[in-house]
Structure 1
């Protein structure tokens, strides 16, 4: 008898906490594409990355925004929520995404190049950053646009 392997979608996958950033200015969203990969491979993305051990998700969002864009003057406007996204078949993990709206408090060009250095480990990842109208943000890859609608809900600052 030939053993049957369990279906990959039914096996337990690690859950990874991620911070995801919607950086909005003048009705436009800051996005990037990987310079060294095709659109078909990785699509258009927003700054995002792993929440480090002991790090608050909001702090991770600010760090990832700085690392991936090369800009520095970000502030958290509000947390929009938490979503889960199964990365199968790209990667065997479930991402618990803490989604934040950030403001950029410094000038930025329409389009620029940046690179993430990964704490000095391995080769830098090169990005082309640019702004797109919010109504075109449906192009975001891997479910990154799931909470975009919350940008249009009234903001109630915490007391």
Structure 2
């Protein structure tokens, strides 16, 4: 926890997956939510209590793509102070990953479901669904941390 103007911010650990294949980066957009709201994203999510960042990255990649993946390397860790928007510090663990049988020309729809109910989860933004289009972008057309 970190103090800022007398308020303690909680730290929330996240795993971020940079999936590279043939010089392409896996990205996704959310259906039913404007691109101007969510942007183009990479698979990522919160690390569960007792879970390692590495295990969380593998889990998040599978949850968000419905495909298995492996970590190639740890890229680093960054701390982001989200205040005043949220009273938290995001500690992001970045990983370079690969997906088994990846095809950079493929586009597919995948989404997350709530582990407790099995139902699709909501983004909480304009009633949008987590179901989204996945695709690979040419790596030289995006900025990534992986060298």
Give the TM-score of the pair, scaled to structure 2. 0.81
Secondary structure of the 2:92 match is: strand
Pairing 1:136–2:141 present: yes
Larger helix proportion, structure 1 or 2? Answer: 1
Whole-Å separation in 2 of the counterparts to 1:31 and 1:89: 28
Partner of 1:156: none
Whole-Å separation in 2 of the counterparts to 1:89 and 1:31: 28
Pairing 1:69–2:74 present: no
Q: How many residues get paired?
A: 133
Partner of 1:157: none
Structure 2: segments with no counterpart, 5+ residues: 122-129
RMSD in angstroms over aligned alpha carbons? 1.9
Partner of 1:106: 101
Pairing 1:31–2:27 present: yes
Larger strand proportion, structure 1 or 2? Answer: 2
1:102-124 C-alpha deviation (Å, 9 max, x unpaired) = 11121345211101003145643
1:37-56, aligned counterparts within 5 Å? 37-56=33-52
